[in-house]
Amino acid sequence: MRTLNLFVIAVSFALFCTCSTDHASNGTGSNAGEAKMAITFKTPSDLPLVSAKVRVWNIGSDSLSVEDSLVANEKGAVAFDSSLSGWKLVEANSGDTLSVMKLVNFADSLPKALVARSPEALKGKILKTGAPLSGAIVRILGKSSVTAADGSFEVQDLPAGTHFVFVYVAGEASTQTFQMQTSNSTNVAEISDTVYTLIEDFENWNMHTLLGKAWGCGWWFVGSDSALGGKSFVSPDFSDTANTIITAGAYSGKSLYATLNIDSSFTGGKFALVGFTLGGDFDEAVENYRFDLTSLVSVSFMAKGSGTVNLQMLRRDSTGTKEYHKVPFNLSSAWSKYAIDAFRFNAEMTDVNAFNFMADDSTAEIYLDDIRFVGIAPADWIVLGTK
């Protein structure tokens, strides 16, 4: 086991982020009778989003369905039905002018206010066995598009943020779900025989993982043995985005680059790493930042570089104590696909908090891209938190 010296840069939260502490009561406990199941929707200038159309979406394994439709009052406020429970996607818009969405837990406290902003387009490309897939039906928040001959599609006027994207392909047994972001970049997703969650592709990197933007503010971090007296370190500094997220030599679009510099003279447990949390901060003990990954088949990723690196998994035992389980792999100079089967961690895959790429013997250089959790679909994360 190791104590990590972590360095995390705080950045603006994505619209989907569920870590906000500015919440209203859900009508239970000592605050019952105050702001019961209510959210106020505002414009960027802090004015009420009067008469905004609000929809509550239920997240299914192969589609979104509207569970409730409401209209904001003259104060921009909406009082939700007390029968709503669990995780739902709340969306509000004032026509095509302003919109906002957020994943909220109606069994917990709700955000007091959400700020609507200008809608954005979501651009994507669907592949199958590495080739563009035409004719696939793409559905996002009640809107749809059909992929062109080159596999591309575009859906306009969506709330900014990370969306659930449902793709139906004729002849396939089921609809596949992906997470994609509104931006000027093109999201790429691949139809697979096995469901997966894309954890990170580094295309719109801001220290949040792609998963974290949608589910729980998962962060990228670096760590080393410096807290133990060693002199190992990671370069370049994560704040140096231009050199951390590279395009020249990238696998696809953008990739992460890091050198894990090891202090070979240190005998107190040398290591240097880059990693990501699944939910909150690395040292967060709150249970809803731990996840049950018993359905995880493997962690796959594209990588190249030099040296030996470990894929390390962090979980907590029944007392809350951290456990570290690692699987080594050797890097080569060419981009290669790695798939680390979950059973190789030789541990229970419950109460999992984080993963990292760690050197603990000698210095290693690593390029990373297309990190996936195989066996877990994006919509599955609703029920995987162990709170």
What are the pLDDT digits (tens) for 309-340?
A: 999 999 999 888 899 999 999 999 999 999 99
CA 122 to chain centre: 17
Tens of pLDDT, residue by residue over 19-53, are 544 555 443 333 333 446 899 999 999 999 999 99
Q: How confident is the model at residue 96, as a pLDDT?
A: 75
CB-based contacts of 300, cutoff 8 Å, min separation 6 = 196, 337, 338, 339, 340, 370, 371, 372, 374
Query: What string of DSSP letters covers 155-172?
Result: EEEE-SSEEEEEEE-TT-
Stretch (H or E) spanning 244: helix 241-244
The string of pLDDT tens digits covering residues 171-202 is 877 799 999 999 877 899 999 888 999 999 99
- Residues sharing a CB contact under 8 Å with residue 251, sequence separation 6 or more, in sequence order: 302, 304, 335, 367, 369, 370
- Sorted by where each starts, the structural domains of the chain and their CATH numbers stand as 5-12+205-383 (2.60.120.430), 23-111 (2.60.40.1120), 120-193 (2.60.40.10)
| AA identity, residue 95 | G
pLDDT tens-digit series, residues 57-70: 999 888 999 999 99
Whether the per-residue pLDDT at 219 is higher than 60: the answer is: yes
Look at residues 59, 41, 60 and name the one whose alpha carbon lies nearest to residue 51.
Answer: 41
At 242-293, the pLDDT tens digits run: 999 999 999 989 999 999 999 999 999 999 999 999 876 555 555 557 899 9
